[in-house]
Amino acid sequence: MQTQPMQTQDINFQNANVRVEDDRTGLSVEALKRAFLDNLFYIQGKFPAIATRNDYYMALAYTVRDRLFRRWINTAEVYTTQGSRTVCYFSAEFLMGPHLGNNLINLGIFDQVKQAMQELGLDLDELMEQEEEPGLGNGGLGRLAACYLDSMATLEVASIGYGIRYEFGIFDQDIRDGWQVESTDKWLSYGNPWEISRPEWEVQVKFGGYTEAFTNERGQYRVRWVPDKVVRGVPHDTPILGYQVNTCNTLRLWSSEAIESFDFTAFNAGDYSGAVYKKMESENISKVLYPNDNMTQGKILRLEQQFFFVSCSLQDMIRILERQNISLDRFHEKFVVQLNDTHPSIAIAELMRLLIDEHGMEWDQAWNITSKTFAYTNHTLLPEALERWPINLFGKLLPRHLEIIYEINRRFLDEVRLKYPDDIARINRMSLIDESGERYVRMANLACVGSFAINGVAALHTELLKKDVLHDFYDMFPGKFNNKTNGVTPRRFMVLSNPRLCRLITSKIGHTWVKHLDELHKLEAYVDDPEFRAEFRQIKLAIKQDLAHYIKANYGLEVDPASMFDIQAKRIHEYKRQHLNALHIITLYNRIKANPDIEITPRTFLFGGKAAPGYFLAKLIIKFINSIGDVVNRDPDVRGRLKVLFLKDYSVKFAQRVYPAADLSEQISTAGKEASGTGNMKFAMNGALTIGTLDGANVEILEEVGAENFFLFGLTAEEVYAKRAAGYNPMEYYENDPELKLALDRVASGFFSHGDVNLFKPLIDNLLYSDPYFLLADYRSYVDCQDRVSLAYRDQDHWTRMSILNTARMGKFSSDRSIQDYCDDIWKVHPIKIELRDYVQGGCGFDSSSTDCKVVF
């Protein structure tokens, strides 16, 4: 490829002031090209003739990172100088997605970089595709955390995201013979250009051992924790830039390392594996995202992970206080910690330990600080998803924390007894220790007791928490409870994912909607404009054509872009009911088999998502979908009117290709089971119509877009509760619905399994004799609703009108709105404006009269 010669920079030898502004911070096409070639040469150590595509990606990533760093260091300096109140977002998952494209959008230089790469003979899209996605989450929880970091920076809120730097993230998924096969996600194989390691800020984390009581020199009763294992926590920082602001916050992820990496005594004695054993054992803690916890060792490792990252983070926060000369008794004034579900809730006991054991506070003062620091977000209505740890396991790993939890519980239950003196059942339910059978520590109860705020993530979810899952705590602490409906960032899931639609929107209503998503309502003025509808429809078709080409190239399956793209993409789980969708496909197929000339709306059914490695029925559902596709796709009677495909290895990167292409979004979970959902929002923002139950955020989406632009079916949460209480019998539905019976009988006969009548027997038996998620009860309502969908799709002009209104009415579901609600109602924080100052060499690196270089984070 052709490149331009490097340009010589002027050097003032008198004051050693090298002019580097253009190449390090410049945003022009020429500056970007020079910086890119410099980084290819000096960082990657390559010249174009031998450079790989990955070298080009890395060079571009470092070029963009340089432009982030100026903002990042400015931001840290302002926060340090002002001692700004800081939101610390504790999450076991951060599913960030690729960084390059998002940073280009937020810097406002996407077009300049695209042009620069073109002039150098490179394709920006190919370079972005080269980026390995950090798979540090397994679904909505981690993706929500990523959206919230983006919005906190965009809203100029001081924040740090704290989590784990898993060496191996969520597994890579392959499909072999229709089954999910997991392989290691080696996202760090070629390095990560976006992070900076901070070993100088490492901390030590204890595990195991025992405790011993003593009286200190002031006659105070104290407890000393004597661990049997200590590991190092090393922080790795990633800059998180807001959209077209100078605020650049930090994602700080912790990796575990051994205190001593090599045992020379063992090595010299010939014990070569023993010489590195402690290193391997210590590094296991941050080795892999969510180990399979079907066995005790997996449970221990998961608890180790959770304690490891919260201990690291709380110690880091105390370090920041010390550096900023803020007294420890103001910890809760400097920091507010948002617990993203129960995974980090052990932080409540750990902060108490740090304040009492390490810093000598009395219990009451420490509890006052702790209970004003934490806020708890609940993400589940499934009782089995509320974490519990066996007492024996917990006490063996964290003996001091078990003592602290016992003391918190003793004091708390005394309060409960005063309020409900004769209600023994309530006291037992609210206890932090489950005493029924094997004893457990209830982490959700700990989070409720130790937090000053508790929120659900959709209006229905929050009401169900109050009514059911956390009812006792709502009765006792009604003022703690509030709702914060989830949101998603439009920067990634519209601007980056769907540039053609965004250009159309911007041409009509300007560009400020990207930061103020409620401005999308202005599109309603164009919904009756035939030319606008035609352009909107043409964009959707072009995107579907792109996905069809991808499917042909990667799966060898031809799909019709004019067919309805009916997509269900989310984690595979029984309550999300991918198998209900599959039964509808079988029903359509059966209708075709009964009458091959039946008039039927052509559909392309696309599925995506991963099943937990130890979740047998979820993995069987994937096999079920693929087996249906094997039959439907090759049956000549179908004549291409139905196509079924499972898209393997679904990820944030791939989701950006899928959301814009959807015509129909499947949000069909059992009412009362999905806390919120965010895929429903991403699909609707991009113009997909939703078929869904009154579950999670579907309720609010329906309210916003209007019932006439939403396909509603199924039981309500109240009806589900009533049916369960009355004694639900799924067999009645099977026996009284001929289409349902035929669909299940055909599966049971081995029709979709090459004659193997046993393959899907566990799935069929689960539905007929248990059906915990009321799939059979909702089947007829779902199939009838799908018939209405098919009729609606035939009127393409009216469908487009509904599609436009879905996009126009999605302003509420920006994560910017969610974060603003958190700021106003829970965190009590305000924006901090960051002014971008010129970089100069020498001194602290900025043109400032200050000589204090103590930038903390």
The burial class, CB within 10 Å (0-12 / 13-18 / 19+), for 595 is: exposed
Taking the C-alpha atoms of residue 115 and residue 104, their distance in angstroms, rounded to an integer, is: 13
3-state helix, strand, coil in the chain (%, to 5): 50, 15, 35
Region of 714 on the Ramachandran plot (φ > 0 left; ψ -120 to 50 alpha; else beta): left
> Is 229 in the active site?
no
- The three-class DSSP label of residue 787 is helix
CA nearest to 803, candidates 417, 526, 453, 392: 526
What's the 3-state SS for 479-508? HHEEECCCCECHHHHHHHCCHHHHHHHHHH
> Is 682 in the active site?
yes
Q: Confirm if 511 and 519 have CB atoms less than 8 A apart.
A: no
Sign of CA dihedral 235, 236, 237, 238: negative
Other Cβ atoms less than 10 A from the Cβ of 775: the count is 22
Q: How many Cα neighbours within 13 Å face the side chain of 845?
A: 12
Taking the C-alpha atoms of residue 46 and residue 62, their distance in angstroms, rounded to an integer, is: 14
Structure tokens, 172: 């890579």
Structure tokens, 46: 């390559």
Write down the catalytic residue from 480, 682, 812, 817: 682
Helices marked H in 633-707:
652-658, 679-685, 698-705
Write down the catalytic residue from 238, 250, 601, 678: 678
Name residues whose C-beta falls within 8 Å of residue 363's C-beta, 6 or more positions apart in sequence: 352, 356, 407
Taking the C-alpha atoms of residue 447 and residue 426, their distance in angstroms, rounded to an integer, is: 17
Taking the C-alpha atoms of residue 236 and residue 259, their distance in angstroms, rounded to an integer, is: 17
- The three-class DSSP label of residue 248 is strand
Write down the catalytic residue from 401, 576, 584, 673: 576
Taking the C-alpha atoms of residue 286 and residue 164, their distance in angstroms, rounded to an integer, is: 7
Q: Confirm if 112 and 29 have CB atoms less than 8 A apart.
A: yes
CA nearest to 490, candidates 100, 810, 719: 810
The burial class, CB within 10 Å (0-12 / 13-18 / 19+), for 726 is: exposed
Q: Confirm if 326 and 81 have CB atoms less than 8 A apart.
A: no
Write down the catalytic residue from 67, 461, 492, 570: 570
> Is 480 in the active site?
no
Structure tokens, 113: 């970089």
Structure tokens, 500: 């053609």
Write down the catalytic residue from 343, 571, 573, 648: 571
Write down the catalytic residue from 67, 85, 334, 379: 379
- The three-class DSSP label of residue 723 is helix
Sign of CA dihedral 42, 46, 48, 54: negative
Residue bearing tokens 């609210």:
430
CA nearest to 350, candidates 236, 225, 257: 225
Structure tokens, 397: 């790993």
> Is 114 in the active site?
no
> Is 653 in the active site?
no
CA nearest to 382, candidates 469, 293, 446, 294: 469
- CA gyration radius for the chain? 28
Other Cβ atoms less than 10 A from the Cβ of 564: the count is 22
Q: Starting at the earlier edge strand, list the strands of the sheet with 711-712.
A: 642-647, 603-608, 564-569, 664-667, 689-692, 711-712
> Is 165 in the active site?
no
Taking the C-alpha atoms of residue 685 and residue 184, their distance in angstroms, rounded to an integer, is: 33
CA nearest to 226, candidates 238, 243, 213: 213
In this structure, the chain runs to a length of: 857
Catalytic residues: 379, 570-571, 576, 678, 682
